[in-house]
Amino acid sequence: EAQVTQNPRYLITVTGKKLTVTCSQNMNHEYMSWYRQDPGLGLRQIYYSMNVEVTDKGDVPEGYKVSRKEKRNFPLILESPSPNQTSLYFCASSLYPGEETQYFGPGTRLLVL
């Protein structure tokens, strides 16, 4: 089944404890992206990747890192999480950058205490 998977789906952590949210797609998509969704602010892009080893900042990159060592995986790293990073996170991918549809993972609900 073609899909984008994320893990974990739910995570409660404490300030300063490094964490990684994994994202994997099995559709051979070139473009991958991370978004966060917050009440009243909608969905905002954190980072994106046009292809392997090519990543760049989105609207709200502060406090996050990403890597794209393989085409299928695009992990989101929070080196020192803070309470303002409590949010719903989505990974998304599309075959190519451009107009093509982005397919979303199931989301990761993160609570930073």
Partner 1 sequence: AQKITQTQPGMFVQEKEAVTLDCTYDTSDPSYGLFWYKQPSSGEMIFLIYQGSYDQQNATEGRYSLNFQKARKSANLVISASQLGDSAMYFCAMRERNTGRRALTFGSGTRLQVQP
End-to-end Cα distance, the chain: 36
Minimum CB–partner distance for residue 69 and partner 1 (Å):
21
Among 1, 62, 69, 98, binds partner 1 (CB under 8 A): 98
- Separation CA 62–CA 1 (nearest Å): 34
With contacts defined by CB under 8 A, how many residues of the chain interact with partner 1?
26
Does 111 interact with partner 1 (rule: CB under 8 A)?
A: no
Q: Which residues contact residue 53 at a Cβ distance below 8 angstroms, ignoring those fewer than 6 apart?
A: 68, 69
The reply to whether 102 sits near partner 1 by the rule CB under 8 A is yes
What distances in angstroms separate CA 105 from CA 17, 25, 56, 93, 112, one per listed residue?
24, 9, 20, 9, 21
* Cβ proximity to partner 1, 49 vs 85, nearer residue: 49
**Cα Rg of the chain (Å, integer):** 13
Of residues 22 through 81, those in contact with partner 1 by CB under 8 A are: 31, 33, 35, 42-43, 45, 48, 50, 56, 58-59
Binding site for partner 1 (CB under 8 A): 31, 33, 35, 42-43, 45, 48, 50, 56, 58-59, 88, 90, 92, 94, 97-104, 106-107, 109
